[in-house]
Structure 1
Amino acid sequence: MYLSRLIPDTTAHAFRRDYADIHQMHRTIMSGFPELPEGSATREQHGVLWRLDHGNVGYTLYVQSRTQPNWDGFDQYLKRPADVRELSTTFDTLKSGRVLSFRLIANPTRRRKPEPGEKRRADTRYSLKDPEEQISWLVNRGTQNGFTIPTGADARPDLAPSPCPRLTGYQGNGRHNKVTVDPVRFDGHLVITDPSAFVEALCAGIGPAKSYGCGLVTLAPPHRSW
């Protein structure tokens, strides 16, 4: 696995276009990877996850992938050359019981129950807006993915959700298939309980909307400031 750290040039027309259309940003990121036959699940096969972090000055774009990326065509998009590092040595250090700080931008949702007499639709989901529901959502994902969220001095999960701006875009050539994502940023600590499941979750991402900037977990030593 590879992790790329890109610093976009916020004055570049291409970045401003992508920032306004989440689907276009997805397409731009995927252009850094080899094309696959039509009909292939390209993002999944290359294992691509990405996240755009807003810092004090500008943005940082993180891209994780199974395939080594090629950012040579991004000279006009970036302030400086991309930083790409291999993650195998990092994954080797992920042992059971280890405590880490983490950041995740996710799209916590829940499937809506149909009203009496209403036919269920496969895509009927709604975004979780309540912070307590968001915390419960991630705690539950942890039990499925090899980690737990420890409790702090107040006996509450050591986890802080914060809303991010809504992301929108349009699939296809027209402006009919609108994409809308309500992401939430989670900062906190986790404890690894099952290294194999945890690494699998890191590679696959957590939650829906993985094509649109959600699901990528980044790790750091405990209490490290972001």
Structure 2
Amino acid sequence: MTSLTRIALNPHNPAVRADLADVDSLHKTLMRLAPDHNSPTPRAAAGLLFRTESGPDPTLLVQTAHTPDLTALPADYGTARTIDLTPLLHSLTLGRTVRYRITAAPTVARSAGNPNRHPVTGKRRGKITHLTGDDAITWWQTRTQTVGLQPITVSGLPKPFPRTRVTRTSPHFILTQFDGIARITDTTLLTHALTTGIGRAKSYGAGLLSLALT
């Protein structure tokens, strides 16, 4: 059962402050929600995707492949509510319009032989380049076609990378929040994208696609 949990965080809790300051710490906290997995890719096995939501109060959206164990969260971490996404997944039909939101890490692998091109191949060729602004929106418009959506409207806002502690081995991503309306073109591709995430940086608060039926 794919589940979505909304956690209204307690900003006075030391564990919450630590997690919001360091996404590695946040990732470790959220992995506690999932059953133990004997897997070389525990995040993917747990189906863990998450993002921070903008607003006056800090909020987390957390998606898991199973019902989360909310007792595993630190004491007084926040107020959590979990819903089953199965009805939403079953209601997806061709041609239906939906509202969407995703925080993603748009990138392309530029070919070393032609640095002026921006092929979105999904293959690690050449240098990984982070995209912003209109380039990021173009990336999302192209990507939607591979996940069963046809964008009707798109807005993109830069999102701060959810990390303040930086080390020599820290990954770096430029995040963009995309919102808009789209039409469903392939329910199989869309279901896969919803349950597995889109793009890079899934361990760092990117890739969770949310839909609202219109």
Please, what TM-score do these two structures have when normalized by structure 1? 0.83
Instruction: Tell me how far 1:12 sits from its aligned partner.
Output: 1.1
- Aligned residues of 2:111 and 2:125 also touching (Cα < 8 A): no
Specify the structure having the higher radius of gyration (Cα).
1
Instruction: Tell me how far 1:35 sits from its aligned partner.
Output: 2.2
Asked whether 1:48 is paired with 2:48, we answer yes
Name the stretch that deviates more: 18-27 or 91-100: 18-27
- Match for residue 163 of structure 1? 158
User: Which residue of 182, 191, 210 maps to 1:218?
Assistant: 210
- Match for residue 4 of structure 1? 5
Helix, strand or coil for the counterpart of 1:33?
A: coil
- Aligned residues of 1:160 and 1:187 also touching (Cα < 8 A): yes
Helix, strand or coil for the counterpart of 2:144?
A: helix
Residue identity in the other structure for 1:205: G
Write the distance in 2 (CA, Å) between the matches of 1:58 and 1:93.
31
Helix, strand or coil for the counterpart of 1:7?
A: strand
Q: Which runs of 4+ in 1 moved over 6 A?
A: none
- Match for residue 106 of structure 1? 104
- Match for residue 188 of structure 1? 180
Unaligned runs of at least 5 residues, structure 2: 115-123
Unaligned runs of at least 5 residues, structure 1: 151-157
Considering only aligned residues, what root-mean-square deviation do their CA atoms show, in Å? 2.1
- Match for residue 92 of structure 2? 94
Within 5 Å, which residues of 2 pair with 1:51-200? Answer: 51-55=51-55, 57-74=56-73, 76-80=75-79, 82-114=80-112, 124-129=127-132, 131-150=133-152, 158-168=153-163, 175-200=167-192
Asked whether 1:28 is paired with 2:29, we answer yes
Query: Sequence identity of aligned pairs in percent?
Result: 29
Write the distance in 2 (CA, Å) between the matches of 1:123 and 1:77.
46
Alpha-carbon distance change, 123 to 209 in structure 1, aligned in 2, over 3 angstroms:
farther
Write the distance in 1 (CA, Å) between the matches of 2:64 and 2:78.
21
- Match for residue 20 of structure 2? 19
Please, what TM-score do these two structures have when normalized by structure 2? 0.88
Instruction: Tell me how far 1:74 sits from its aligned partner.
Output: 2.3
Instruction: Tell me how far 1:21 sits from its aligned partner.
Output: 1.0
Residue identity in the other structure for 1:30: M
- Match for residue 154 of structure 1? none
Question: Deviations along 1:80-104, whole A, 9 cap, x unmatched?
Answer: 2x11111111111110000011111
Helix, strand or coil for the counterpart of 1:135?
A: helix
Helix, strand or coil for the counterpart of 1:180?
A: coil
